Structure 1
Amino acid sequence: MKFNLFKKNKDQYTLYSLLNRKWAYISYIPEVYYHKKDKVYMRTHQNKREALIIGKIFYSLGYNVKVARCNAPKECDDRHYDIIFGLDPNFVTMSQKNPQALKIYYATGAYWKHQYSIVKNRIDSFNKKHGTHLPYSRSVDAHNSCEIADIIFQIGSSFTIQTYPPELQNKIKIINQSSNFSQECNLQHKLQSVSIKDFLWFGSSGSILKGLDLVLDFFISHPQYNLHVIGSLDEGFIDIYQKQIDECRNITLYGFLDTNSELFMNLAYLCAFNIFPSGSEGCPGSVITMMQMGVIPITSRWGAIDNIEHYGYLLPELSVEAIGKGVEWASMLPQDKFHKLIRENIYYSTQTWNLEQFENEFRSTLKETIKTKERKKERTNRKRYMPYHYKGRYINTSFNT
């Protein structure tokens, strides 16, 4: 008889069936199971809906599933698990407890050493330039998840893979994330409303990591272009620019905006380009969201999608000068090319980053990973028990008589 057992605990959630004989430990975000009917909560980030999909896929492939908060050490139990999946630190702890398990690290950002280095270098340079002491926002702790993993499921692009040491890159399988943006772009309205002089920066915490300082430095000195800044900014960061921004008529700060709001949609229809010179990303949801609204990306390599040159502009470096080159490229686009890019961004992004596509890619990648592990196990067992020839006689190494 098939049934589910749901254990009420904010730090874990268990999916269990008598028909399933194996166990998977998912070190991720169990709270989504307690809020899945809360539409406002579920659309705050695409990983909410994706987390539900991940649990469902493991369960449908014959695994009982424990979903544990990735940083709740009390949820590192002593049950035997066949698969360990997810994020550190619990991923590391549970992998050590289950050395024979298939270990799949779920990488949603760049390699940790890359991000740590970029955060440190960018904020050190900023503090030196402005005589400030801003803390390291969006820094990461050291961990060896990638090294101990059998395989890495990476949210990102080929640019993300390049942040890893060469010896780890062959472990990586790219999976395209979904988008939590639910609005549909009216192409005719976009083409009629868009202004080639209006640019956007759309991000979250980590203002310097995501290059907002470079963007502000450029637009402060180029009043012929308009900049719209959407997102929650790091405490103390904007204070350094506030006086200059107050004197500029071409820069507007909006703070956090719900992507379903009228104001957000008006800005999405107005803006032609999204400037995102981030130093470290997996695949930035803000870039994907704006592409769905026909906003052409101008990004760093770490904030870029694959084939960025076909859909926008790739910044050669993280600098004000590089942003200037990107803006120059944008302002020189012929109208037919400009409109073509808008159409192609809308079509490509909606086809590539959606929940159905994420589910299909995750399921097929996981199934192939499990099959590969099983084939290796079979080969090992076959070799272990295979008779070998010794002095004209076959000896079976599986037993002694």
Structure 2
Amino acid sequence: MKNDSFRKRLTEKLWYTFRDRFYSERVEDMPVIQNINFTATRPQKKAIISYLTTSYIADWGNQNIGRTQPLEILSIVKVLSDLNYTIDIVNCNDLNALPIVAAKEYDLIFGFGEVFYQLTLKHPNAMSIIYMTEHHPDFADREEKKRIAYFYERHRKKARIVRSGNFYKSHYFDQRYSAVITMSEVEPYLKEYENLFAIFPTGMMNTNFVFESKEHDTARKHFLWLGSYGAVHKGLDLLLDVFENREDIILHIAGLSEEDEKLLKPSKKRNIINHGYLNIQSTAFLEVVAKCSFIALPSCSEACSTSITTGMIHGLIPVVMEDSGFNRLEENAIFLKDFKISYLDKELTKISEIPADDLQIFSKKVYDFARQYFVLNYFESKLKQIMNTVLETQKHG
């Protein structure tokens, strides 16, 4: 007991001494947000969202967001608020947040991650909605391992698994949830779930972008890879292996992480241009968009990646893998059926030779589709529709 008391006093003294030195870090690292939409004037249901708390910390009106999730989370909260929930938000993998909300009883648990899983175990009578911002974990793990093995086969370098298993694990699906909302393919859940819903992520839009005719005779030779960490998972290594042995087509790379750049070591050739980080709101991004007809992402597993939705909002034609998370794009994308280099080499030749007039029509169709489905207004209305359907099903279940 004496040791506990001393430790507590020492901790408090250190905290009061140093806390102001970490003020901005304290704000940015808020693990729990509680009582959103709470009112004492009427009965309310309680919901908890296991996702990210950053939506309620930063000033999104005065900075470049760089991601779509924060604004989507605000829309999720808006929908639940309109349904008369008081809402808590916790970081999806921060188990230290669980004791803070341990005394509460929840009617709805929404989200993903280890925190979501633990909350559903603790509140078995609550309605639970798992929100899939990735492909099914079994698919993602299997396909990423294939890509890592193929990379080693070609380059004798070991890449590590960086995308799969961080937020979704196979054992999470050992239990049944009230509903599944997925941004990826629906097929892995069809046998288990009737309450299964698909939703598109939003995309980022450069506010100065204006869709107009493009010189596709030239632009059809230009492909943009827009990504982040996990370049082998996202197929950049495959593109590099094709473009490094060609001169007639040009690859633009944006968002390559330092770790991936050290691993892949892109050749310094005229037809391989590494732009580094590209701010979507920048003139530089619009210049790249103007040069390219296509945005290529031969990723092994996605949930209709926001790099693709962002490219499509700017009229870029997506070139993506079949069954990897983009199937709902249907005729608004070019689908690759294999990831082997010989196949990709031939397909990219065919794609780069599509007539310019056809590409102008294709690009406009892609842009119109994206402007309808990859915007916050649609996201929010779709989620509201889904939630109303789930609640109605629960009422009569």
Same fold (TM over 0.5): yes
State the 1:350 CA deviation: 0.8
User: What is the root-mean-square deviation of aligned Cα atoms in Å?
Assistant: 2.2
Which residue of 2 is the match for residue 395 of structure 1?
none
- Partner Cα separation in structure 1 for residue 263 and residue 44 of structure 2: 58
State the 1:360 CA deviation: 0.1
C-alpha offsets along residues 35-76 of structure 1, whole Å, 9 cap, x if unaligned? 1445425x2211100111111211221111111111222332
- Partner Cα separation in structure 2 for residue 303 and residue 277 of structure 1: 9
Q: Which has the larger radius of gyration?
A: 1
Unaligned runs of 5+ in 1: 1-7, 377-401
Where do residues 353-372 of structure 1 align in structure 2 (5 Å cutoff)?
Answer: 353-372=374-393
State the 1:187 CA deviation: 3.0
Matching residue's letter, 1:139: S
Where do residues 188-227 of structure 1 align in structure 2 (5 Å cutoff)?
Answer: 188=212, 190-191=214-215, 195-227=219-251
Moved more, 186-195 or 210-219: 186-195
Which residue of 2 is the match for residue 63 of structure 1?
85
- Partner Cα separation in structure 2 for residue 371 and residue 278 of structure 1: 37
Partners of 1:217 and 1:320 within 8 A in 2: yes
Q: Secondary structure at the match of 1:281?
A: coil
Find 1:46's aligned residue among 51, 59, 68. 68
Distance 1:241 1:373, change over 3 A: closer
Partners of 1:22 and 1:62 within 8 A in 2: yes
Which residue of 1 is the match for residue 211 of structure 2?
187
Matching residue's letter, 2:202: S
Q: Secondary structure at the match of 2:315?
A: coil
Partners of 1:176 and 1:361 within 8 A in 2: no
Where do residues 54-133 of structure 1 align in structure 2 (5 Å cutoff)?
Answer: 54-76=76-98, 77-133=102-158
Moved more, 121-130 or 224-233: 121-130
Matching residue's letter, 2:118: T
Which residue of 1 is the match for residue 177 of structure 2?
149
Partners of 1:82 and 1:102 within 8 A in 2: yes
Matching residue's letter, 2:295: N
Find 2:306's aligned residue among 285, 297, 302. 285
Indicate yes or no: 2:36 matched with 1:12: no
C-alpha offsets along residues 99-125 of structure 1, whole Å, 9 cap, x if unaligned? 111110011010111111122221133
Unaligned runs of 5+ in 2: 1-26
- Partner Cα separation in structure 2 for residue 297 and residue 326 of structure 1: 14
Distance 1:130 1:34, change over 3 A: same
Moved more, 51-60 or 192-201: 192-201
Moved more, 137-146 or 340-349: 137-146
C-alpha offsets along residues 15-47 of structure 1, whole Å, 9 cap, x if unaligned? 111224211111111221121445425x22111
TM-score by length of 2: 0.85
- Partner Cα separation in structure 2 for residue 193 and residue 263 of structure 1: 21
- Partner Cα separation in structure 2 for residue 191 and residue 307 of structure 1: 28
Work out the number of aligned pairs and report it: 361
- Partner Cα separation in structure 2 for residue 165 and residue 260 of structure 1: 37
- Partner Cα separation in structure 2 for residue 64 and residue 216 of structure 1: 49
C-alpha offsets along residues 247-286 of structure 1, whole Å, 9 cap, x if unaligned? x221111111101111111001110111110000011111
Partners of 1:22 and 1:63 within 8 A in 2: yes
Matching residue's letter, 2:252: H
Indicate yes or no: 2:51 matched with 1:24: no
Which residue of 2 is the match for residue 336 of structure 1?
357
Which structure would you say has the larger RCO, counting Cα contacts within 8 Å and 6 or more residues apart?
Answer: 2
Identity of aligned residues (%): 24
